[in-house]
Each structure stands twice: as structure tokens, then as C-alpha cells.
Amino acid sequence: MKDLLGGKGANLAEMTRLGLPVPPGFTITTEACRAYLRSGTEPGALRGEVSAHLAELERRTGKRLGIGADPLLVSVRSGAKFSMPGMMDTVLNIGLNDASVRTLAARSGDDRFAWDSYRRLIQMFGKTVLGIDGERFEERLELAVRATGVATDAELNARHVRGLVRQFKDIVRDHTGQDFPQDPRRQLDLAIRAVFDSWNGERARRYRRQEHIPENLGTAVNVVAMVFGNLGPDSGTGVAFTRDPATGHQGVYGDYLPAAQGEDVVSGTRNTVPLADLARLDRRSYDELLRIIAILENHYRDLCDIEFTIERGTLWMLQTRVGKRTPAAAFRIAVQLLDQGLIDADEALRRVSGAQLTQLMFPRFAVDERAERVATGIPASPGAAVGVAVFDSATAAARARAGERVILVRRETNPDDLDGMIAAEGILTSRGGKTSHAAVVARGMGKTCVCGAESLTVDPANGHLTLPDGTVLAEGEVLSIDGTTGHVHRGELPVVPSEVMEYFESGEVGDDDLVQAVHRLITHADAVRRLGVRANADTAEDAARARRFGAEGIGLTRTEHMFLGERRELVERLILAETDAERDAALDALLPLQTADFRELFAAMDGLPLTIRLLDPPLHEFLPDLTDLSVKAALGESDDDRLLTAVRRLHEQNPMLGLRGVRLGLVVPGLFTMQVRAIAEAAAAHRAEGGDPRPEIMIPLVGTVRELELVRADADRVVAEAGAPPIPVGTMIELPRAALTAGEIARAADFFSFGTNDLTQTVWGFSRDDVEASFFAAYLEKGIFPASPFETIDTEGVGTLINTAVTAGRSTRPDLKLGICGEHGGDPTSVHFFHNAGLDYVSCSPFRIPIARLEAGRAAATP
């Protein structure tokens, strides 16, 4: 019922159904909200329904809204399908007016309580329903505190508060030209409308964009009879968790604040006591709470997060929901519930996520007394980074070149900071959220980033930052920043490796209960998943690691990485060759090197498929940069005319859209032939040693079947000449045209591997190199993307082409093997898409293998 009643409303209804002590009330549906937002007026039927429900509520409580000796007071709270904490409006104490405040005072025997409740109503109502600047009320409250000489407003007495009520009513009249509404029903109707409107408030809209919550859901409104935790020492309010949300360990956790309301806990002006203390203060309520907690855990079969109030010894449940938890807690709890028999193994798997597993695989800071936490920002890109604070990009790059570890500290970053960001261990900013330039670029680079640490004053001009207490930290001060928690520490914190990462590296489970939980859940994921998981690996070392991490093969080996280092010189000779003989000599020299590379890879992946992509990048990537070389030539530091001519000739306006991939193979005679020969000879050599090589040859950047046919014919010939058994030949599907004509391309392909990086680039027409820095932050901020399409597959655009190609390819060749080897292969959300698209495997970087395994299992375990 969450769609209709929102999360809060549905849970209140659920608790009521379970017979738990929930204050009576009713919920106005999200449907009513949507109708209101569409038309701008309350749906006709709404008024009548509110009347009917209110009458029923009055009947059940035996009270009338704002009327009589014991008047009914209600709270009006928002409650969307997805939790949006603090983003929408709430009004408490609806029903109080100049008359009922007196009967409430009489009934409660607490004059101050009654008038303070009325004061709060006028303030909240004025601000959220009538749109009066909250500062107006705060000013008066502050003045009153100062005038009476007390420390906080909690110490104001009944007379003071009555005076404030008068002043607040004046503010309402001054700003709206009308008196504060005395009619309780009118208060209620206006409050409901205000909650509806708050769905489209600026804060709420920004939050939804950040959390990818759809714009059109609308919020429900919960109208609930008020209960008061601030009616003296036998009242109070608290929160409870059915397990420790930080660690997942079993037990009852929470906080209690006697003689207080919920806002008092939130405002932090008074200190809470541990929940266990409630046993001493009010044993009966405590036992009742434990009983309820057990019921709720059994019912929700999960960690519950509970808000309760005790009003003069009576326990009331105000809210419950499945509680948020840390990644470690998520894994432990899922396994505990499985062992308790509350959930089955598929459900346990669904309870954890690849994003959580990612966080468990990063090193983290050890708790260390020596380093003080000086700020907390938004955890934008995980990891633990230590380095000296530097306040500009050029210095960061210079100090990094000199061998120092650097933390780049900026108010916010812009494209001018790229060099510094590349050089830094981590990035810290005082402004901006998860979609800011710093956050987007850092995630793209895999760098630790804490952003929006607003308590820090960054002064780049003077090269220092100021802490809230006025301490000034200059350039060179060591900082430790935690991209997983958002914490910023002064000094160097020791970094401890991740036990979970050690488990994946070693394969040993040991007796750590978190590692055991991870092991059990990922083992179940492997048992149920349909998607294979392969790795993108270019070296035997990476391949071996990937195998330890559970890779069932290599989905992408980029041979260009074998053309770097000392071999660059050979590639240069190949490019500069002016005769067939020169070119052939360069290729002949490369052949044994490539063969040796492949032999190492076959050894590392013995018995498992190894997909080798023939050379993909433009040749000029192996030559010096045009600008650098031109400057050198102009300064007389280089006189290699032949090289400069070649660099100029091969220079491309848009290398991503230039002479690369299969085009190179068709235009540079002998290049692909040499690579295929190296593969065939390496396989033969490995087989001769008793090994089981399983190469697959992959052709990049095919746009039309004719390209593949030509290259394939040559490859098949070379393999046959080498006396090797046939080697499967397939292609990347990474151009829209390849996807659109996949039915034809499948005629010449044994397999497809979707290159989602390039496909995203061409479908959207932006290159990853260029745009993440320039406009992605703005696009995420404006909600144009729900997420970077380079991180999470764009299902509408790129996904449509993938589905088209899968259908067309399989209809030509039912046994066509289908994989994906872009960055998306290790992205949790995207893995589900690939599962549903019917691919055979995903391939991702070695460190993401466990995440892909887990998510592939979750996709299969999702009914």
C-alpha cells in the first residue's frame, strides 16, 4: 500500500492492524495529492472524505477537533512512497485556538505546556502554511529569551509564552492581513494543502533528483491524533532500532529523552540517555517496547527503526520503518535473519547490494585518537585518502610531481582544476553536493572525494582554510579524508585494509563474522545467477587477480596496452614506415612480443575463455602530442621532421571518431594479421605444454558486416595456416550502426560483446573525456540525467539499441554468445538490465567482479 498511503501511512496502518498502540488517525492518499498537483485545487471529493474520516476519528477518540473540555489535537505530516526525511512540511497541534488552549491547560494541568503547544502551532503554521519567513518568529523568541534572562526557550514560563503567542499572532496578521485562523477545520484543510504543495518545494525537488525519486509520485498526508511526550517526567520520547544499525549486531539499540517531544531530540539541545535506561525509568513501558520490537521484527522480517512517545506512562508508537544501516550491518543482518528462518536465501541476497559491497572493499581509516575530526562533508566518492592540503591546481600538480601525496582543497572545482584533481590523492570542497563538478569528476577518476564540507572556510587566494573554531590550516598541513563517511581529519590517520578485500584476494573466509556473511551471500549469488562474470584484464597479473575474485574468463583484453613502454618505439617504426619492407620489419619485431604476452595470459586463464580485442585506438596515441612536439620544434628542441610530419598527418580533430578499430585493421596492411598470428602461435605453444588455451578474437568498432567479413576471412586464414584449431571470432557492438544492423553482423560473428562506453558516447554524442568535466555536473544538477550514463546504463537510449541487437543477433544465430565489456559491466543497476536483456555474461574490471557476481545473483533472485 506504499504507493497509495506513502511509507509512513502504510506502516501506521500496518501497526494498527497488528494491534500495536498507535494513536488513531487517517491517511490522505498520494492519488489525492497527484490530482491536486495536476489541477491546482483539491479534488472535489476530498473535502467530504476528510469530513467523514475526521468524524470517525472524533468518534473513536471521543473528542472533537479543537472543541470541548478535552479537545482533539492532530498532527499533519507528509509521507511519500520513498523516505524524504525533512524535505516536506509537518504541522503539529492542529486544533488549538484561543479557546481550546485554555481547556488543554485545564485538562493537562500544565499551563505552560498548553500555551507552548499553541505557540508552536502558530509558528509552524505561519511558516509552512502561510509562507511567513521563519526568521520573524525566531527573532521574537530570541528577544524573549534575552529579555527574561533565561538560557533557552525551554525555561520560559507560561506567562512569557502567552506573551509570545500574542506577538506571533500579530506577526501573522501583519504578514497576511488576516488573523490566525481560529477554525480548527480550516487549520486542518490549509495544513493538508500546504503538505501537498511542499512536494514541489525547492528542497524536495532537489532531493528527489539526487536520489532518483520520480517527480510524479506525490505525497500522502497523515492526520494523527497528538500524543505528548512533554507532559512531565512520566512522559518522554525516543527512537529504537531492533538491531544495531551500525554493525548489525543483535540487541536493542536506541535513545530516550524524558519529558520531551520529537523536535527536542532533533534540535540536540538536550542530551538523550541510552534506551536501556528506560528500564529503570519506566519498566512497564520498556517491557512493552521490547514486546513490540519483537512483533515488528517478526512482521517486517528486517531491522526496524521505531519512533515512540510515552504520554504519562502510556506507550504510543508514532512511526516505524525498515531502518537504514551501514553496509557491514546489511550483510550481517541478512545472514542473521536467514539463520533465524525469517527469510530465505534469495531474500537475504536481495537485502544486500553491490553498492554496499563496494564500500566494504575499500580500505578505511583506523580510529585514531591522534587525529581530530575537523569537519564532516558529503561522502561523494569512497576511499581513504591522506595528503598535504594544497589550495590550487598548479601547486597540487607540482607537489605531486615532487613525490608528495596531496589533498586538493577548493571551495568548489571547475574544469581549470583538472590537472590538480588528477595529481591529488583526494579532493575536498566546502561547497556542492553529490552532483557537483568535484563529485562527478572524482567518481569518474575513482578518487576519494568529500564535498560540501560547509563548516570549512576555504581561502584559495591566501592558501589556507579556517576551521569553525577559527583555527587556520595552511598549505602543507596533513589531512585525512574519508570518502565513505564524509569525515575530514587533521593529521595522518592510519589506513586499515578491508577484510572483505583480503577475503577476495586470498579466498580464505576465517572467523570474521562480516567476511562470513559476505562469503555466504556471494556463494548463494553464484549458485543462482544466470549471467556469467568475466573480467577486463590486460596483463597476466590482472587476469590472475580476476580469477581469484571469481572471474569465469576474460571478456576483454586490450592489446593496445601491450604496445606501450619499450615497445612504443616499434610502434613508432610501424607508423613511420615508408616502405612495405620497413613496415613488415616493425611487425615482425612485434610478433614475438605479442606472442609472449598471450602465452602469459593463456597460462593465467588456462581452461577459461580469453577474449582478445585487436588493436583499437588511433595510431597517433602512440606518438608524441602535436602541441608538445610543435612547441619543442619551435624552440629547436626537436628536429625530427619525419616524426613531426607523421604526427601532423595522423592528428585528428576527433580521434574518437577517427582511424581506429577495425578501420586500422583494414587500412594498415599486416597489423591485424600479426596479432592473429601471435594469438594462434601462443595458443599452439600453450597447448603443446599441455595447457588448455581458449582464445576468442574480438574485432572492435565494426559498423557494417562487410568490415567483419573481410577481417574475419584474413583471421581464419592465418589461424588455419598456423595449424591451430579454429578460434571463435566476434565483434564489439559499440556503434549505433552495429546495433541497428546486428542481424546482418551476426552472420559473420560467433559472439557479440557490447562496448557500452563507446555506445554511450555515440548514442548521446558526447565523449567521456570531454564532457564529464565540462557539463555533466550541470546536467545532473538540473536533473537532465538521473545518473551519469557512463556509470549506469541509459536504458531508454543505449538500452533500446542493446535490446534491438540482442533480438536481431539471436534471430540470425540462435547460439550467438552475448556479453558486455564496458564500465557498466560492474555497475549494480546496469547488471540487472543486462540480466533482463538476456546477455550471457558481463565483463568488468577485476575489483568489480565480486560486485557483478552479487548483483547478477540478486537479479536472478528477483522474482
Please give the residue ranges that form the binding site for its own copies (CB under 8 A): 415-416, 626-627, 630-631, 634-635, 645, 649, 652-659, 663, 666-667, 701, 703-704, 706-707, 710, 734-737, 740-741, 758, 761-767, 769-771, 774-775, 778-779, 782-785, 794, 796-798, 800-801
Q: Which is nearer to its own copies, 463 or 736 (CB)?
A: 736
Distance CA 812, CA 597 (A): 35
- The DSSP result for 778-818, as a single string, is HHHHTTS-SS-TTTS--IIIIIHHHHHHHHHHHHH-TT-EE
CB of 768 to its own copies, least distance (A): 9
CB of 632 to its own copies, least distance (A): 8
Contacts 24+ apart (CB under 8 A), 809-814: 809/742, 809/743, 809/745, 809/746, 809/749, 809/752, 810/746, 810/838, 811/743, 812/742, 812/743, 812/744, 812/746, 812/747, 813/746, 813/747, 813/749
| DSSP helix/strand/coil, 88 | coil
Task: CB nearer to its own copies: give 209 or 853.
Answer: 209
Between 185 and 431, whose beta carbon lies closer to its own copies? 431
Closest approach of its own copies to the CB of residue 850, in Å: 32
Q: Which is nearer to its own copies, 151 or 461 (CB)?
A: 461
**304 three-state secondary structure:** strand
Q: What are the grid coordinates assigned to 141, written together?
A: 523568541
Q: Least CB distance from residue 578 to its own copies, whole Å?
A: 11
Return all residues near 631 (Cβ < 8 A) that are at least 6 apart: none
Nearer to its own copies, 232 or 415 (CB): 415
Active-site annotation holder among 437, 524, 620, 686:
437
- Least Å distance, CB 510 to its own copies, is 46
In angstroms, the CA 354 to CA 347 distance is 15
Residue 297 or 794 with smaller CB distance to its own copies: 794
Considering beta carbons, is residue 700 or 826 the nearer one to its own copies? 700
Q: Which three cell numbers stand for residue 507?
A: 579466498
Least Å distance, CB 745 to its own copies, is 11
Q: Please tell me the distance from the alpha carbon of residue 318 to that of residue 26, in angstroms, as a whole number.
A: 13
Shortest reach from residue 479's CB to its own copies, in Å: 27
- Exposed / middle / buried, residue 389 (Cβ in 10 Å: 0-12, 13-18, 19+): buried
Question: Could you tell me the smallest distance in angstroms from the CB atom of residue 429 to its own copies?
Answer: 18
8 A C-beta contact, residue 47 and residue 54: no
Which residue lies nearer to its own copies by CB, 763 or 818?
A: 763
Query: DSSP secondary-structure letter at 367?
Result: P
Report the residue number, 459 or 625, with the smaller CB distance to its own copies.
Answer: 625
Residue ranges of E strands in 63-133: 74-80, 90-94
Q: How far is the CB of 633 from its own copies (least distance, A)?
A: 8
For the residues of 680-697, what is the DSSP string, one character each? Answer: HHHHHHHHHTT---EEEE
Annotated active-site residue 821? The verdict is yes
**Beta strands per DSSP E along 54-197:** 74-80, 90-94
Report how far residue 486's alpha carbon sits from residue 378's, in angstroms, rounded to the nearest whole number: 5
Residues 525, 349: contact at Cβ < 8 Å? yes
User: How near is the Cβ of 741 to its own copies at its closest, in Å?
Assistant: 6
Cβ(732)–Cβ(753) below 8 Å: yes
- For the CB of residue 824, give the shortest distance to its own copies in the complex, in Å: 16
Report yes or no: 568 and 623 within 8 Å, Cβ to Cβ: no
**CA proximity to 122, closest of 74, 79, 77, 167:** 167
Task: Provide, rounded to whole angstroms, the least separation between the CB of residue 418 and its own copies.
Answer: 8
DSSP class of residue 213?
Answer: -
d(CA 454, CA 299): 41
CB neighbour burial string for 688-697, b if at least 16 within 10 angstroms, e if fewer = eeebebbbbb
437: annotated active-site residue:
yes
Judged by CB, which is closer to its own copies: 322, or 576?
Answer: 576
Residue 179 is given by DSSP the state P
Nearer to its own copies, 457 or 804 (CB): 804
Query: In angstroms, rounded to a whole number, what is the distance separating the alpha carbons of residues 793 and 578?
Result: 44
Active-site pick, 304, 449, 451, 821: 821
Question: Which of 37, 141 has the CB closer to its own copies?
Answer: 37
Q: How far apart are CA 808 and CA 705, in angstroms?
A: 13
Distance of CA 481 to the CA centre of its chain: 18
Name the residue nearer to its own copies (CB basis): 492 or 640: 640
Burial class (CB in 10 A: 0-12, 13-18, 19+), 102: middle
Annotate 481-506 with three-state secondary structure. EECCCCEEEECCCCEECCHHHHHHHH
Q: Closest distance between its own copies and the C-beta of residue 206, in Å?
A: 15
Which residue type, as a one-letter code, is found at position 615?
L
Q: What is the sign, positive or negative, of the torsion defined by CA atoms of 365, 366, 370, 374?
A: positive
Q: Where are the beta strands (DSSP E) in 643-713?
A: 694-699
Q: Taking CA 132 as the corner, what is the angle to CA 127 and CA 134, rounded to the nearest 5 degrees?
A: 60
What are residue 298's phi and psi, to 5 degrees? -65, -35
Q: Which residues are annotated as catalytic? A: 437, 821
